[in-house]
Amino acid sequence: MSGATGRLAGKVAVVTGGACGIGAGTVRAFHAEGASIVIADLQAEAGEALAAELGERALFRRTDVTDEASVSDLVDTAVAHFGRLDVMFNNAGIIGAVGPIDRTRTEDADLTIAVNLRGVLLGMKHAARVMKPQGSGVIISTSSPAAVLGGVGAHVYSAVKAGVIGLSNSVAAELRPFGVRANVVIPGAVVTSMTADLVAGGADDLAGAEAALDRSRYMSRPLRPADVAAGVVYLASDDAAFVTGVVLPVDAGMTGAGGSSPMADEKYADQAGRREAGRRVGDPDPEEV
C-alpha cells in the first residue's frame, strides 16, 4: 500500500471475510500500516494464500461467523498468537435471500440474518470480552447503502445491514467508558467478486464488474477495495481516537449526495441569485420601476 505511515504499528487486528474483496483489501492495508492480522474466512485456500503472501504478522483461521464457538476461537487465536486484540473488523457478509417479498424463502432469510447480523453480534461480543478489561480497542462493522436507501438491495439484506448500524451505535454507547470505540463503514458499489456475481459474468469476472460499475460511477472511476480499506484504516487508527458511534460512508456520495446537482450545469455559471417571481439579485425593485 503506497503512502503507509505505520499508523497501526504494534496493533493486532481480526478481519472476518478477510480472504477476498473489501476484507482482503483491508487486510493488506492493515498489514502495510504495521498491524498483525488474523484473516478469518470460510474460504481456506484464498485465506491461506493471502496469509502466505503477507508472510510475517499474518495468519489465517477458518471461521464460520454464524457459529459462536468458531468466533470465540478466532478471538482466542488472535490473543494467543499475537498477545492482544486491538481491532475487530466485522466484515463477513452475503447477499443472501433475493427476490420479491411474497416469494422470499424463509431458510434463505435465516441464513442472511445469521451471517450478516448474528455474525456481527458474535464478533462484537467476543471482541468486547477482550477489549473491556484491556481498556482499549476498536470494533468496526460493514453495513451498506441498502441500510439507508430503499430499492438498492435485497429486502432481508437491507434489513440486517440497517440492524448493523443500530447494533453498533448501541454498543458504542456501552463500551465508550471502557475506552473501546465502535463504528460502521458503508461501502458503495465496489469492484469485488460479490459485485461481479451480481452485475457481470460471475464471481471471477472482476473486469466485467469494473466495466459495469464504470457506467454508473459517481466519481472518476469505480470504487475499489483499497478505497474502502483507507476509510477502515482511519477508523482503526489513533487518528480517530474520539470517533465512536458513527457511520462512515465510503460511497462517492451515494447515500448523502445521490442526485445530480443542477448547479453543475454550465448554464448556471456566473448567474445571479434568484428572488421572488424570478427576479435576480441586483434587479431593480418593482416599486422603483
**What's 70's domain CATH number?**
3.40.50.720
The percentage of residues in the chain with a pLDDT greater than 70, rounded to a whole number, is 83
Angle ∠(43,124,76) on CA atoms, nearest 5 = 65
> Structural domain tally of the chain?
1
224 vs 149: which has the higher pLDDT: 149
Is the pLDDT assigned to residue 212 strictly greater than 60? no
Task: Establish if 274 belongs to a structural domain.
Answer: no
Across residues 141-157, what is the average pLDDT?
95
C-beta atoms surrounding 163 within 10 Å: 18
Kindly tell me if the per-residue pLDDT of 287 is higher than 60: yes
Does any domain span residue 273? no
Query: Looking at the domain assignment, is residue 94 inside a domain?
Result: yes
Report yes or no on 23 lying in a domain.
yes
pLDDT at 256 over 60: yes
- Averaged pLDDT for residues 203-225: 62
Split at pLDDT 50, 70, 90, the class of 66 is very high
Q: Would you say residue 215 lies in a domain?
A: no
What length does the chain have?
Answer: 289
CB 87 within 8 A of CB 11: yes
50, 66, 46, 67: which is closest to 58 by C-alpha?
Answer: 50
- Write the pLDDT tens digit of every residue in 90-148: 999 999 999 999 999 999 999 999 999 999 999 999 999 999 999 999 999 999 999 99
- Which pLDDT score, from 0 to 100, does residue 192 have? 57
Please check whether residue 269 lies inside any domain of the structure.
no
Q: What is the pLDDT of residue 86?
A: 98
Give me the phi and psi of 42, to 5 degrees please. Answer: -85, -20
Computed over every residue of the chain, the mean pLDDT equals 89
The predicted pLDDT at position 7 comes to 96
Query: How far apart, in whole angstroms, are the C-alpha atoms of residue 182 and residue 173?
Result: 8
Is residue 235 in a domain?
Answer: yes
CA–chain centroid gap for 223, Å, is 12
**Distance between CA atoms of 234 and 241, rounded to whole angstroms?**
10
Q: Is 157 a catalytic residue?
A: yes
Whether this model's pTM surpasses 0.85: yes
Q: Which domain holds residue 103?
A: 12-188+223-261
Q: Tell me, yes or no, whether 267 lies in a domain.
A: no
